[in-house]
Amino acid sequence: MLEYLDADGGSGSSRRLFFSTPTQLTVSGQLHLEAMINGLGNVYTFGPTFRAEHSRTIRHLAEFYMVEAEMAFVDNLHAVMENAESCLKYAIERLLCENHHLLKYLWKVAKDGVHLDAKQMRTVLESDFVRLSFAEAIGVLNSDDPSLKLNMRSALKREHELALTEKFKLPVFVYNYPVGQKAFYARQNDSVSKTCASFDLLVPRVSELAGGSLREDRLDKLESRMREVMDEDAMSALDWYLDLRRFGSIPHGGYGIGFERFLLWISGSSNIRNTIPFPRYIDSCPM
């Protein structure tokens, strides 16, 4: 909660809520972007986000930056994936053209058996990213290792995600996840499979780099899903978000790309903490 010290110079100092109500650090700018698309069309943001994850892995930070885009009048998940793919390929191409010497140095000093070069990155640029539905991804993994016995109720672990990128040697989109594995705002597919129009983009060595979805624009479906995953107080705090559907909505979707994870992938670094000047993670916030 954001507080300040209300000091009178004596012993009566006390802590008070800065906004007069409990507030939290943002985990994403997405919901606010959804409020803007009706008037501005396609929008994006690039800024800090925060996650209270109890993890000290090479790919987790408590504070990191995200590139988030929201697209108006889109009703096809593949169009959202195409936009995310184009965004990443543009960034890679500009780095190869304008900072190739720096990338070569980073690849040269990379540790833990990481071997990257311009040829590999060019292959990424010249290839279509692999696209697998969640059901197809489960099938591929079970086929390669029958002992896994994964099904539509299974969650893909990091080792499963990395196995997919290792198999195809390319970034892999996995889409149409089970509804219960994704956030309340992901649009439910009109099918008996109980899946939603969502995706994760997996890249070699890092696993999840980006995630996105079509957004649920049907008020009844959105309210029903919110009631499944949150209490009345949480729903009340998001009443403004429901208003975006109550008073007319449009088909829309978007995605977020973790900036430091992108740097981790393309630089060959051994730890995401090397990609940000002041890494903050659980039990560590020195400055």
User: What is the pLDDT, as a whole number, of residue 25?
Assistant: 75
pLDDT tens readout for residues 198-207:
999 999 999 9
The DSSP 8-state label assigned to residue 179 in this structure reads G
User: What is the pLDDT, as a whole number, of residue 285?
Assistant: 84
Residue 195 corresponds to which tokens in the numbers above? 């899946």
Compute the average pLDDT of residues 47-73: 89
Percent of the chain with pLDDT over 70: 95
Range from 49-53, 64-68, 85-89, 268-272 carrying the lowest mean pLDDT: 49-53
The one-letter code for the residue type at 243 is: D
| Sign, CA torsion 283/284/285/286 | positive
Q: Which candidate, 16, 218, 265, places its Cα nearest to that of 116?
A: 265
Range from 134-143, 252-261, 264-273 carrying the lowest mean pLDDT: 264-273
Range from 109-113, 208-212, 243-247 carrying the lowest mean pLDDT: 109-113
pLDDT tens readout for residues 273-286:
999 999 888 888 87
Question: Which residue shows structure tokens 């099938």?
Answer: 139
What rounded mean pLDDT belongs to the chain? 91
pLDDT tens readout for residues 153-180:
999 999 999 999 999 999 999 999 999 9
Residue 26 has pLDDT above 60, yes or no: yes
Rounded distance between C-alpha atoms, residue 212 and residue 41, angstroms? 18
pTM: 0.91
- Alpha-carbon separation of residue 117 from 87, 101, 110, 221 (angstroms): 20, 11, 11, 47
Rounded distance between C-alpha atoms, residue 38 and residue 40, angstroms? 6
Torsion of CA 234, 56, 276, 100, to 10 degrees: -120
Beta strands 207-214 and 198-203 are: antiparallel
Residue 272: phi and psi, rounded to 5, are -65, -20
The DSSP 8-state label assigned to residue 126 in this structure reads H
How many whole angstroms from its chain centre is CA 284?
A: 23
pLDDT tens readout for residues 70-121:
999 999 999 999 999 999 999 999 999 999 999 999 999 988 778 899 999 9
User: What is the pLDDT, as a whole number, of residue 75?
Assistant: 96
User: What is the pLDDT, as a whole number, of residue 82?
Assistant: 98
Percent of the chain with pLDDT over 90: 75
User: What is the pLDDT, as a whole number, of residue 23?
Assistant: 75
User: What is the pLDDT, as a whole number, of residue 212?
Assistant: 98
Q: Which candidate, 263, 199, 200, 214, places its Cα nearest to that of 64?
A: 263
User: What is the pLDDT, as a whole number, of residue 5?
Assistant: 56
- Higher-confidence residue of 15 and 234: namely 234
Q: How confident is the model at residue 52 (pLDDT cuts 50, 70, 90)?
A: confident
Range from 14-18, 75-79, 243-247 carrying the lowest mean pLDDT: 14-18
